[in-house]
Structure 1
Amino acid sequence: AQISFWLAYMHLLLMLCPNTKFLTPPSEQVHQSITIVRLYLPINELKGAGKQNFETLIFSLCNILRPLHGAAGLGIQHSYEWENYQHIEYELIQEYRGVDLCSPSGNKKWRTGYTNLNWYTYLAHHWVSKLGTTEDLLTQLDDVRIGVLPYEWGTIFRAGNWPALGKATIDPRPELYVMVNEVLKPLRVNNIGSLHYGSIAGEIRLNERTSNQWMRRFDLPKDSPKPKPSPFFRRVSMEEQQRLDASKQMFDAFLNRNSDDKSNNSQANRQRFLLDTLDALSAAIGT
């Protein structure tokens, strides 16, 4: 099952592929088709407290529908005659890599791996477990801008605080999308199939080859090294946080003592206390 919430052009699209073991009819279990649930919201929904409300909505729907996989972010909202405009959709997704394409139908292959990766990506727990524990994922995604959010039926991955447009001429591979993609791609479907119908009058649409190229748009070039986590955004361990808190208390004490000593003109004491504080800070950060 797949879910996607998208800021579909520009709206918020939420697409879910619900778990067939939970609420799909017997015919779907027999024929191995796949159910897709899509929700569109205007991008204005992210204003103010909307971003947190949006994440809460994702959690609620994932807990209700228990999807196999899904995604949420910037996307294109289809019209009733969407097949007549696939050539326009093709142009848009080539120009803006962060904009997702959400086909209203799926195929059996989508049961074997996820098909969408975007701002939010959610995967069932029996898939995520193949990558390790939550602690393992936090180690691999060592960046505080990336959310690793486990829930009862799976894990939700958030690539940054805001969705990335991914304009091809400026930022074709958004940094955080690439980092999440590098960790999750072993769970990706091998062949997504063709996401568009055939050309009618020579217009360019997606075929099976270009659909698979699009699905891999956040992959790094072959033989490229994996991106290293930025030291400015790395996660701080509990032990490191305790040392930093202790150092902060010492520094605050120094400032308070410095203020008291001004009246006594105790310059030697201030200098000695400052050196002690700097030594403690150096020890706390491991230098």
Structure 2
Amino acid sequence: MEVETDQTTKVKKARKNQSPWAIARRKFLKNKLAMISAVFLVFICIISFLAPYVTTADITRVNVGEMGLAPSTDHWFGTDKSGRDVFTRLLYGGRISLVIGMSCTFLIILLGTIIGSIAGYFGGFVDGALMRFTDFILNFPFLVFVIVVNSIFIGKVNGVWVLIGIISVLAWGGVARIVRSKILAEKENEYILAAQSIGCSPIKVIIRHLLPNVASTIIVQASLLFASMIVAETGLSFLGFGVPQTVPSWGNMLSVARETDTLQNKQWIWVPPATILTLTILSINFIGEGLKDAFNPKSAR
């Protein structure tokens, strides 16, 4: 019994001496729902990005003789109204939707972190000017701007990158406010005052001292944003203002569900993308909740 007590005491001491990142990693790995979601998301990403090696069917070829076929051994998920293989378009569509979600998330986090860090660190006039600009961005009519810009650039440039740019430019405001509030609280600590007293430049203080201490909040926000960006792409494409119809995406595949005949009699055309989209969004949200729980020092896990 004494040996077991000593071992338990050593384990508790070792855990107390762990860094916050090590503790968060251990707590996240113990979250079964988050781990299952992470495995599923990785699987979806791998199979989508390796689509050319998984299937050899042409995603653009219109086959009049195979229009609207039900699932079979030749077409696992059937064909759409243009005779294109639904399974193939599902994989290629996942690649587009995931790329848009990842790219938008990266750009939003980058812009929001830069502006929020500068505003929070310098304060005063700089903070006021940047936050008023952030308020303007947050109040900007998102849908109207997307429709107008999409109408201007349609057919002239790559519609996917136009959509990524529009969403990223209009969606960083929330991240900037969160980062600013964290920086304002963190910069009052003694180690920041010490770094300033020895002559560290503002950029060095922000990058080397402040951002590492607010990184956990940024990571959690990024995981939740990823799901939101995929939903945004899907909604815009469903309405016809997102990814061009010639480019397969989960949103474009779901847009056919607006037709009554397809919705009622040809469920194999829209049910697979709807199912995969729902499971992907749930997985990302569960991962986000797992990260939030892992980085929460008051968590009971």
Please indicate the TM-score interval, normalised by the length of the shorter structure.
under 0.3
- Per the normalisation by structure 2, the TM-score is 0.23
Higher helix residue share: 2
Structure with a larger share of its residues in strand:
1
TM-score by length of 1: 0.24
The higher relative CO (CA closer than 8 Å, separation ≥ 6) is in 2
